[in-house]
Amino acid sequence: MTVEFYDTTLRDGAQSEDIAFSLTDKLRITEKLDEFGMHFIEGGWPGSNPKDLSYFKDVKRLNLKNSKIVAFSSTMKPHSKPEEDEIIKAIFDADTEFVAIVGKSWDLHVIDALKVSLDMNLRMIDRTITFLKKHGKKVFFDAEHFFDGYKKNNAYAMKVLEVAVNSGADVVVLCDTNGGSMPFEVSDIVAKVTNMTEAKLGIHTHNDTENAVANSLMAVKAGCRHVQGTINGYGERCGNANLCSIIPNVVLKMGHRGIKPERLIHLRELSLFVDEMANLLPNKHQPFVGDSAFAHKGGIHVSAIRRNPETYEHIKPELVGNAQRVLISDLSGESSILYKAKEFNVDIEKDKKLAREVMKNVKDLEMYGYQFEGAEGSLELLIKKALGIHKKYFDLIGFRVMVEKKEKNHPVSEATILVRVADTVEHTAALGAGPVNALDNALRKALHKFYPKLTEMNLVDYKVRVLSTRDGTKAATRVLIQSSDGKQTWGTVGVSENIIEASWQALVDGIDYKLLIEEEKDR
């Protein structure tokens, strides 16, 4: 069976709190969705705002190869003529072959929201679809609030579907608009609808009970061949059905045709791209595409996956563009260290004693407050130091950091540093936006002439966590720093009761790691 996927990130997803796509964002996402092989892309509601109308004009300039663009709208207004209705005119202004029309299927909404009679609502649906079909449009009819309507008045909900089908709708989409239906309800209702009509059915669910993905899958199992959703589950309130979970489940778990395997491997890439366009941090725990989806921390787990990944991975991560990861912590075992050492191109398989020593060191450090899950740069340095294969690039002689605050002026931070590189002593000073920034600037200034490649490196993230609230200002502090040279990104960590010392440790490891990877490139 073939299932078609319909993306509404640019319309329904854009209604999510904290998301505001620009016109350029929408066009770039469209290109990415098309590259992935999405069957339909709902570009927006041309009658609702100028940006969406501009989108439908500009999207025609894109060289799309796989996706069809859909314009979304509602049924015409009551008592108006289709050819004169402003809603209908906006649909034709969008000039798309495919249109999605939302209409009420719950009698409560017809009476309380639209404030028209039940018969008038049916006429609005009929006249809208009939007019669009007469003018060559292919119509998706979104039966809004269908499941709530069916549970309260199944005769009327089914009458809405009958009118839509008889008017020529190409697909009738059953919508769980409030997101309150349970999977067993969706399965039962879709099965009944399937037995009562030969129309092509679709499903559109919201996530208010954390069931949007499950509801969509149950609808497919019961007969729906068309699935709507958004990338990363963006959407109003709690979000829409997440296509990043639905697509691999439908294709890999349920065995249906939909997105080709050679395109499915770009799913994680698509997810991260849309997060970037939305200016949101990726959800690392998201199934299939998240950083943690195939990450292993427990020693027993790591030991097993080294023998056979299937022991703790439900699919091969490469199928969705992800990768297996092993995390190091106080829960890790010897297998974890062996795995990570291999990842760092270090072979300690035959030296189990060394592996145990490294593991003990890691656990002792984590007991003190270190965390290596987000600081693999520090972990690699720790392993290579234990093996005696880490070169010391410089020695600290001393540093001083001063912060001066005068009335009505912003604080000024200055760092002075003395380091030794081989036989040369370098003494420099630098200002910064804060004490850590000043220290970072002074250290780089001292080392640049010895190691010019450091100019490529930037600090991209800086996190501080106080490890115990009971000790007040004397509490140990953990600093996690993320650095990047534009090609690679690495994390480093430092822990101390003194935040400047903790920051210094993480800064030094960050620079050490950059110099290490440059040295390995030259070998």
Q: pLDDT digit string (tens) for 233-260?
A: 999 999 999 999 999 999 999 999 999 9
Statement: residue 468 has pLDDT above 70: no
The DSSP element (H or E) to which 126 belongs, if any, is helix 118-134
The DSSP element (H or E) to which 428 belongs, if any, is strand 424-432
- Between 465 and 149, the higher pLDDT residue: 149
Q: Is 468 exposed, middle or buried (0-12, 13-18, 19+ CB in 10 A)?
A: exposed
pLDDT of residue 102: 97
Pairing mode, if any, of strands 477-484 and 489-496?
Answer: antiparallel
**Contact yes or no for 91/74 (Cβ under 8 A):** no
Strand locations in 37-116 (E):
40-44, 68-74, 98-104
pLDDT band at 279 (very low <50, low <70, confident <90, very high): confident
pLDDT band at 5 (very low <50, low <70, confident <90, very high): very high
Q: Is 203 exposed, middle or buried (0-12, 13-18, 19+ CB in 10 A)?
A: buried
The 10s digit of each residue's pLDDT in 96-149 is: 999 999 999 999 999 999 999 999 999 999 999 999 999 999 999 999 999 999
The DSSP element (H or E) to which 108 belongs, if any, is helix 107-109
Statement: residue 424 has pLDDT above 90: yes
**Contact yes or no for 49/78 (Cβ under 8 A):** no
**Contact yes or no for 190/201 (Cβ under 8 A):** yes
**Contact yes or no for 235/269 (Cβ under 8 A):** no
Statement: residue 473 has pLDDT above 80: no
Question: What are residue 368's phi and psi, to 5 degrees?
Answer: -80, -20
Statement: residue 340 has pLDDT above 80: no
Ordered by where they begin, the domains of the chain are: 4-259 (3.20.20.70), 394-450 (3.30.160.740)
Percent of the chain with pLDDT over 90: 66
**Contact yes or no for 346/367 (Cβ under 8 A):** no
